Structure 1
Amino acid sequence: MSGGLRGLLARLRIDPYILAILATVVIASLLPARGQAADVVAVATKIGVGLVFFLHGAKLSPQAVAAGIGHWRLHLVVLLTTFALFPLTGLAASALPPWIVPAALAPGLIYLGCLPSTIQSAVGFTAIARGNVAAAVCGASASNLLGVLITPLLVGVLLSAQGGGLSWGAFEAILLQLLAPFLAGQALRRWVGGFIQRHAKQASLVDRGSILLVVYNAFSGAVAVGIWSQVSFVDLLRLTLVCLVLLALSTAWTVWISRRMKFSTEDEITVLFGGSNKSLAAGAPMAAVLFPVSTVGFVLLPIMLYHQFQLMACAAIASHYAKRADSPLQTV
């Protein structure tokens, strides 16, 4: 087996963190938090969510966004794909017949569509594919900065269009649990940013541990209202197919629009990974604030599935672009 094929297979494996999330779902299904334990987990979850967004604020550099803003056509395509086209696609998917998308899972598809892009995956795959890494850093950072405000607003508007919507209490929680810690991180970045960078591994453990806590709390609440009696294995298979179709549409669109606008191959790579990726790191804690605990588990199912599929697909796509860059017969 060639080294390149071994590398591709290694990148196609299931993300260990996804396995940890799935294990957390199983634990919550078998041993959900109840009574006083549920109250303790709920408080810990709120603290964890605030900490996650503080770390996001402290890590994101406004200077990086400003430095790369000159390539405005590329960033405009990525942002419109992330916060306009994708939400409308998610809304359309949520309107599929109940035998394809059960009503309990439909809000999760809308929520998936409204999420910002990833940072680590979008930048990492762009680097592997030899794309425009500087633009990827700028675009992903801008997406996450804007997502703190835009994602909740989009979710509220689109769910209201379906007769749902967010309560005023949810918007208060956005201000207190998401925006305030995020802005505090930005304000203190000058003093704490270096410390966080030097201890990036520990910060990552806090980030990921908080998300696992969100997942446990979400599925504990979902088990209490009978999630597994409302969502069958066949429903999960259908949801998997819907997520795969959404991923295929987003990747096809980003490549098509990039070539239509005559972007270079490097910029096409950046648009593809920036526009088709959705952030589980931002999505899980944000869902804990936006939705009642009894529904968060339902909402998280689509993003959990989509996140794993995007990692696998993007690994293969990045390998394809890297081979083109290595070929002496190709010019990029």
Structure 2
Amino acid sequence: MNIIKKEWFLFAMVAAIGLAVLMPDIGKTGGWLQLGWLTSIGIALIFFLHGIGLSSQKIKQGLSNWRLHVLIQVTTFVIYPLIWVIAGQGMLALLPSALAIGFCYLFALPSTISSSVAMTSIGKGNVPGAIFNASLSSILGIILTPLLVGLFTDVQGAQMEMTATIVSVAKLLLLPMVIGQLCRPLLAALLERYKSITNKVDKWVILMIVLNAFSDSVAEHIWVGFSVYLLLSCVAICLVVLLAIAYFLQFSCKKLQFNHEDEVAAVFCGTKKTLAAGIPMAKVIFGANPNLGMILLPIMLYHPIQLFYCAMLANRYAARATTAATAVAAK
């Protein structure tokens, strides 16, 4: 029971997928719950709350360390997309096109905010630097993610009119975030008081989007022929990519002679891909595409894998920092 209580969100996502498989009419677009317009309102609310929670003071604290910022943002928006440039044609040949596009979308996503900062803190890393880079990544992603997906996807059903898509994403995501930031002086204290409630808003909206996306795909018979082997292949791809990026960042940090704090921030901000912003953004970019459930599968698999791996890595970094501090104190 403790595991279910602690990881309720992951269990709820599995339950939403199960409900979509068994009763797609409940969650499909135009179905009983009318999730089509509810999710749009929820997405705007998520980014409005993100705007209120964005502390300009903490971001300013991390501004000066430009080498850290360049490494994280280049990894997020150049190195990850390069994986698609190198392996994309192979994925399109081996995987269903919607699933391959899902990996393209995963590689183009920005970093997370909450878990990147939390893991950096656990690993005794540069928290202001992590806050700055995770926040910057989220803002850049509103423009760069649809731009990269538009540049890389020329498969039928995945083509997008880039200008229109970026404008749509900006209106639904960036505009509420800007309004939230403007309202921060008035609402920040209220948001902090009800943090236990507001922190769950994004999760409930994501659950609605997952239910809607998978209900649509089941209703359109998208999953016919999808095998366990294919699912395991997706898990393997996610794991290999995560380990490769983590190794690349650790190697780069050593070459750049980063201290422990900056290495921790670089690894946890650079390896992460956001589920919280990624699923709502996919809803905007791909619209009512019946393949959306399959497009979302890679980020839904990558999310728990990255959390599990980064939690182990954070504890390892924390132990290393404690050992170093003890050695210095003993001198």
TM-score (ref. length: structure 2): 0.90
Q: 2:172 aligns to what?
A: 177
Q: 2:316 aligns to what?
A: 320
Q: CA deviation at 1:108?
A: 0.6
Q: 2:124 aligns to what?
A: 130
Indicate the SS of the match to 2:69: helix
In the alignment, does 2:15 pair up with 1:20? no
8 A contact 1:107–1:159 mirrored in 2: yes
- Amino-acid identity (%): 38
Q: 1:71 aligns to what?
A: 65
Indicate the SS of the match to 1:117: coil
Matched residues in 1 for 2:269 and 2:258: separation? 14
Q: CA deviation at 1:228?
A: 2.0
Q: 1:141 aligns to what?
A: 135
Q: 2:271 aligns to what?
A: 276
Closer/same/farther in 2, CA of residues 98 and 235 from structure 1, 3 Å limit: farther
8 A contact 2:122–2:314 mirrored in 1: yes
In the alignment, does 2:303 pair up with 1:311? no
Mapping 1:236-247, distance limit 5 Å: 236-247=231-242
Q: CA deviation at 1:255?
A: 0.3
Matched residues in 2 for 1:310 and 1:217: separation? 25
Unaligned runs of at least 5 residues, structure 1: 1-9
Matched residues in 2 for 1:19 and 1:94: separation? 31
Matched residues in 2 for 1:149 and 1:35: separation? 26
8 A contact 1:117–1:143 mirrored in 2: yes
Q: 1:6 aligns to what?
A: none
Q: CA deviation at 1:87?
A: 1.6
Unaligned runs of at least 5 residues, structure 2: none
Matched residues in 1 for 2:261 and 2:89: separation? 36
Indicate the SS of the match to 1:288: helix
Q: 2:50 aligns to what?
A: 56
8 A contact 1:131–1:270 mirrored in 2: yes
Indicate the SS of the match to 2:74: helix
Q: CA deviation at 1:164?
A: 4.0
- The letter of the residue matching 1:234 is Y
Cα deviation code 1:253-310 (max 9, x no counterpart): 1101111101011111110001001110010111111113312211110001111110
Mapping 1:64-143, distance limit 5 Å: 64-97=58-91, 100-143=94-137
Matched residues in 2 for 1:97 and 1:318: separation? 31
Matched residues in 1 for 2:79 and 2:223: separation? 31
Q: 2:219 aligns to what?
A: 224
Indicate the SS of the match to 2:224: helix
In the alignment, does 2:255 pair up with 1:263? no
In the alignment, does 2:23 pair up with 1:31? yes
Closer/same/farther in 2, CA of residues 36 and 299 from structure 1, 3 Å limit: closer
Alpha-carbon RMSD across the aligned residues, in angstroms, is: 2.5
Q: 1:7 aligns to what?
A: none
Closer/same/farther in 2, CA of residues 90 and 59 from structure 1, 3 Å limit: farther
- The letter of the residue matching 1:154 is L
The ranges of structure 1 where at least 4 consecutive aligned residues each deviate by more than 6 angstroms after the TM superposition are none
- The letter of the residue matching 2:191 is I
- The letter of the residue matching 1:273 is F
8 A contact 2:61–2:129 mirrored in 1: no
Q: CA deviation at 1:175?
A: 3.2
8 A contact 1:104–1:298 mirrored in 2: yes
Matched residues in 1 for 2:137 and 2:221: separation? 35
Q: Pick from 294, 301, 321 the counterpart of residue 298 of structure 1.
A: 294
Matched residues in 2 for 1:100 and 1:145: separation? 33
Indicate the SS of the match to 1:280: coil
8 A contact 1:114–1:151 mirrored in 2: yes
Q: 2:249 aligns to what?
A: 254
8 A contact 1:102–1:235 mirrored in 2: no
Indicate the SS of the match to 2:199: helix
| Count of aligned positions | 322
Indicate the SS of the match to 1:281: coil
Cα deviation code 1:107-151 (max 9, x no counterpart): 111111111111111111111111111211111111112222222
